[in-house]
Amino acid sequence: MRKIAQERCRASFGQLFQFYAPRLKSYLKRMGAEDSSAEEIVQDVMLTVWKKAAQFDEAKASVSTWIFRIARNRQIDMFRQASKPELSPDEPMLKPAAEAAPEEELDRVQMEAYVRAQLETLPAEQLELLKAAFYQGLSHSEIAKAYDLPLGTVKSRIRLAFERLRGRLDGA
């Protein structure tokens, strides 16, 4: 390993390759890699060994431990890449939403205005807590703390606000 690191000795690397390549492949197959994947990983690992031989520290690990650790990490990396699904450009979730027809857009705008008007008819203490929950994204516990109210009071006021709105909006 020293000769590879210091002199870039191809003969030493050849010996290292001949010794470790079959062992790495066997190890990777035992770890669940397909034959072609195991070969690919072995080639990648041995290329890494050649490039990074100077980083090997015999005080920290033996040559075999260092090489097998590289192989194990490469296999984990390949497994992670393989487990990520490929996104299809035809995926409906990736396409922009279709433009609404003018009458649908008008209906949406009118409904939004109606909901805003109904929100303003709520008692101030209910409206304030509803805005904290939905506009600021606060949880009930966070609202209780911020407004110095018991948690049950916060939940009751928000529930009452929803019931009022539901009653007014069901007929809309």
2-83 shares its CATH topology with 102-169: no
> Helices (H) and strands (E) in the chain — how many of each?
8, 0
Please enumerate, as own/partner, the contacts of 43-47 that have beta carbons within 8 Å and a separation of 24 or more.
44/74, 45/70, 45/71, 45/74, 46/16, 46/17, 46/20, 46/21
* pLDDT surpassing 80 at residue 127: yes
pTM score, whole prediction: 0.49
Q: Domain spans of the chain? A: 2-83, 102-169
Tell me what percent of the residues of the chain surpass a pLDDT of 70: 95
Rounded to an integer, the average pLDDT of 1-15 is: 90
Q: Cα 52 to the chain's mean position, in Å? A: 30
CA nearest neighbour of 55 among 111, 4, 128, 109: 4
Q: Which two tokens stand for residue 127?
A: 């409206």
Q: How is domain 2-83 classified at the architecture level of CATH?
A: Orthogonal Bundle (1.10)
Structure letter (DSSP) for residue 101: P
* pLDDT surpassing 90 at residue 24: yes
What are the tens digits of pLDDT across the range 41-80? 999 999 999 999 999 888 888 999 999 999 999 988 888 8
In whole angstroms, give the CA distance from residue 63 to residue 169: 73
- Domain 102-169, CATH class in plain words: mainly alpha
What band does 97 get if pLDDT is binned at 50, 70 and 90? Answer: confident
